Structures are given as structure tokens and as C-alpha cells.
Structure 1
Amino acid sequence: MTTFVLLHGGGMGGWTWKYVRELLETLGHKVYTPTFTGFGERSHLIGRDVGNATHVQDVVNVLRYEDLRDVVLVAHSYAGTVAPGVIAQMGDRIASVIYLDAIVPHSGERIASLMGYVPEDQLAGLDAMLDAGEGPIGSGVDAMQREAAKTHPHLMDPDREKWLLDNLSDQPMKATACVIPVGAETIEKPVDYIAAAITVMTAMHDRARALGWTIHSHPGDHALLVGDPEGTVELILKITASKGAA
């Protein structure tokens, strides 16, 4: 039996792991799917001060108060910016790390600029505005994902895609604009990276390779955990078994 802590992507929540969680639990594993402050069922807590530090603390507190040890930490998408901070604080409780088509940040970067969406100087100005209690609370990532799906539908059953899109929530602007103080290059543990074939994360795959991480390919898209939970679980368990932890 393995203990998994599954971290969700932008605009999502712990709910997005529903199908993966059910499969893992059926096999006897213990699974935790925390939702970051300001997302999903915690969307009522969104605020201008909710950023990377808050989300790192969300996960650190789950590990601490649930007294979790020998954890396999799995980070999808946005959570790739949160995982390094969690590992820096709680590394002795984490057995292995898996990035699931996730962002690979370097220390000092900001999500929107490292992804090429907003110039660094503009983003720094926006971050300062948020610190002053002004500016947009949310980033509109949920609306952007719904709009993108109109022209590029996800590789999944239409009913399941509707479930995914209907449940998306906004992402705190602070999380998008703030500096990520602890980057992926600080992770001293071996990391396995699952790279989706159809994704906006291709540059992140290159970053993972540059860090010497082990790359595993998946034929699906960025929402593979919802579109192909069976294949996602198979890969996660294969990786975990190779570490002697499954």
C-alpha cells in the first residue's frame, strides 16, 4: 500500500483527481487530494494575497496534520510550481516525486512570464498592485480553458469533458503573478516526469530533461488524468514500483 498526495492544476481542485483516486483506492492505496486555497470547493477563499506561499502551506499542513510519511507526491500542471516549496519543507516525508505534465519553474520566476503569456516587467507591476490591495482578484483561467475547449476539445468522452469544464473555477491572480521562491532545480530527489503528447507544456518537458529527470510519454492531452485515468494510474504505479514503493 502506498500513500499518494495528488496536487491539482490551475482552475481545478482536488475533485479533478476523482477517477484516478477511485482507481488507486480500489487497489488498496491511500490517497489525499487537497484543494488549494481559492480553488474548487475553497473558491470562496480567493483573494489578492493568495499565491504560491499559501498553496505550499496548504499541502505542508496536510502532510503535517495527517501525519503522512513515505508519500508519493504527484503534481499536475500548476502544482509543479507548488511542489518544490513543499519538498523544501517536508522532504523527509516524501518518498518520491512525479510531475504530471506540470510546470517546471526556476527559482525567482513567475508563472505567466515563464509560460510566455505576460512580459516580466508587466507581471511584476501587477504583483505590486496586488500587494497594495488593488487589481484583479482572479486570472480568468477557467474562462480561458472553456473557450480553448471550443476549438480544441479534450481527448475524452463529451460528458466527461462537460463535467470537467463545468467544475472549473478561477485561479487567484497572485498565484499567476507572484515570484516562485523555490524552483524545481532545488529538488534533490529523483523526479519522474509524465509528458502528454498534446499540451501547452512542451517547453516544460524540455526543462525537465535539462534537469536530468526521467521522462515518460503519454499519448493524451494535458487533462490526461480526467481523459485517461486508467493510463495515468498505470504510469504512476509503474513509476512507483520502480522505486520499490508500490
Structure 2
Amino acid sequence: MTTYVLLHGGGMGGWVWRHVAAPLRTAGHEVLTPTFTGFGERVHLLSKDHGHDVNVQDVIGVLRYEDVRDAVLVGHSYAGSVIPGVVAQEGDRVRHIVYLDAMMSRSGESVFETMGYATRDELPGIRAAIQAGQAGPGTGVHLQERQRLTAAPFDMPTERQEWLLDHLSDMPMRVVTDPVAVGVETLPHTTDYIVAKNDPTMATSQERAVELGWQVHEWKADHGFIIGRAGELADFLLSHG
């Protein structure tokens, strides 16, 4: 039996893995789907005082208190920035890592920098504004994504698209503007990375996975393939766990 720890992306929560977790459990495996502080059903904890390091500790706490060993750690989108910090502290609990079109932030770089949303010189001013209550504390990603995906839906059944839009939540601004303490350059070359070829959202991160010599798999898919192609993704995880 394998323990899969599935980590969600921005504006989402553990709920997003429903269609991936079910077949993994049916196959006899344990599946944990934690939600980061300030996201999903924990959005009531959104605060200007909770930064990126809190999300790293969220996952570390799950690994420790669930007595997880020999895990397959899987991250989508934003979660890619969290995984290296988890592995740095609890790497002996992780057997394999899979990135699903996920964030490839380097040590000392914020998610906003990785995405090209802000320069390093601009970030101190943004962080000061957050602490002063002049910006944030949320990013408003749920509103932005609802507008974007209503105009250009993901490749998935209509009912799943509606389910996704209904469940999107805000997320803390600090988690994307804080420097990432431990970056992807620290992870092993055996890490698998699925590239969503039909979506430029993670273009920089996709390029970095190739540069680092990771095991790159190109899918003709968009960034929402974790829902739109959940069954195929579950099969991939079963064969690469």
C-alpha cells in the first residue's frame, strides 16, 4: 500500500482531489488531501500574518501526526512552491515526488516572481502594504479565476467546471509574496513533472523542470487536468508511485 499526499493549488483546497483520490483508494491505497491555511475550508484563517512558511508547516504537521512513511508527495500549481520546504525537513518520509504543472520557485524567490507578476525590487513595498493593511490580505484569485474560466472554460465536463467554480476560495497574499525559503533546485532529478502543453500558465516552471533534468511528461491538456482528466491522472500516479 502506498500513501499519496495530494497538495492543491491556488484558490483551491483538499476538496479538489475528489475525482483523483477515489480511484487511488479503490486500488487499496491511502490518500491524504490536506488544505493549506487560508485556503478552501480553512479560508476563515486567511490573515496578513500567515506566510508561505505556514503552508510548509501545514504539510509537515500532516506527515508527522498521520505517521506517514514512504509517501508519494504530489503537488499541483502553487503547491510546487511548498514541496521543497517539506522535503528539506521531512524527506525521510517521502519516497517519490510528482509535480502536476506546478510552481518551480527557486530559493529566495517568491511565487509572484516566478509567475512574473512582480520584480524582486517591488516586493518589499507590496509586503509592507500587506502588513499595514493597505493591500490584501487575500489575493482575490477566486474572483479572477471565476471570471477567466467563465470566459474560457477548462477542458472538462460542464458539471465539473461548475463544481470547480463553486468551490474556489481566496488565498493569502503573503504566501505568494514571501520569499520561498527552500527552492526546487534542492529536489532530486527523479522528480516527475507533468507539463500541461495546452496552457501557458506555468511556462516558466515547465522550462525549469526541463533545465533541472527532471522526468518530464508532456500532456496535451490545460491546467485543470487534475479534474478534467482525473482518471488518467490517477492511473499515472499508480504507475509512478
Q: TM-score range by the shorter chain?
A: over 0.9
> Tell me, what secondary structure is at the counterpart of 2:130?
helix
Q: Which residue of 1 aligns with 2:94?
A: 94
Q: Does 1:103 align with 2:86?
A: no
> Tell me, what secondary structure is at the counterpart of 1:236?
helix
Contact 1:194 1:217 (8 Å CA) reproduced: yes
> Tell me, what secondary structure is at the counterpart of 2:196?
strand
CA-atom RMSD in angstroms: 1.3
Q: Which residue of 1 aligns with 2:209?
A: 208
Structure 1 position 8, deviation (Å): 0.2
Stretch deviating more after TM superposition (188-197 or 52-61): 188-197
Structure 1 position 189, deviation (Å): 6.1
Stretch deviating more after TM superposition (194-203 or 72-81): 194-203
Contact 1:96 1:189 (8 Å CA) reproduced: no
- Paired with 1:122 and 1:143, the residues of 2 have a C-alpha distance of 24
> Tell me, what secondary structure is at the counterpart of 2:220?
strand
- Paired with 1:60 and 1:189, the residues of 2 have a C-alpha distance of 22
Structure 1 position 173, deviation (Å): 0.3
- Paired with 1:111 and 1:126, the residues of 2 have a C-alpha distance of 13
Contact 1:97 1:189 (8 Å CA) reproduced: no
Runs of 4+ in 1 over 3 A off after TM superposition: 131-134
Matched to 1:166, the amino acid is D
Q: Does 1:217 align with 2:218?
A: yes
Q: Which residue of 2 aligns with 1:64?
A: 64
Q: Which residue of 2 aligns with 1:119?
A: 119
Question: Normalised by the size of structure 2, how large is the TM-score?
Answer: 0.96
- Paired with 1:44 and 1:98, the residues of 2 have a C-alpha distance of 29
Q: Which residue of 2 aligns with 1:243?
A: none
Stretch deviating more after TM superposition (95-104 or 214-223): 214-223
Q: Which residue of 2 aligns with 1:15?
A: 15
- Paired with 1:150 and 1:61, the residues of 2 have a C-alpha distance of 36
Structure 1 position 236, deviation (Å): 1.5
Question: How many pairs does the alignment contain?
Answer: 240
- Paired with 1:88 and 1:194, the residues of 2 have a C-alpha distance of 22
> Tell me, what secondary structure is at the counterpart of 1:117?
coil
Q: Which residue of 1 aligns with 2:40?
A: 40
Contact 2:114 2:205 (8 Å CA) reproduced: no
Contact 2:154 2:222 (8 Å CA) reproduced: yes
Stretch deviating more after TM superposition (125-134 or 104-113): 125-134
> Tell me, what secondary structure is at the counterpart of 1:155?
coil
**Structure 2 gap segments, 5+ residues each:** none
Deviations 1:140-182 (A, max 9, x none): 1111111111222110011110100110000100011111111
Deviations 1:15-71 (A, max 9, x none): 000110011001111000000001111010000022210000000000000110000
Structure 1 position 219, deviation (Å): 1.9
Stretch deviating more after TM superposition (34-43 or 121-130): 121-130
> Tell me, what secondary structure is at the counterpart of 1:74?
strand
- Paired with 1:131 and 1:186, the residues of 2 have a C-alpha distance of 30
Question: Normalised by the size of structure 1, how large is the TM-score?
Answer: 0.94
Matched to 1:126, the amino acid is I
Deviations 1:64-112 (A, max 9, x none): 0011000000010000000000000000000000001101010011111
Contact 2:189 2:212 (8 Å CA) reproduced: no
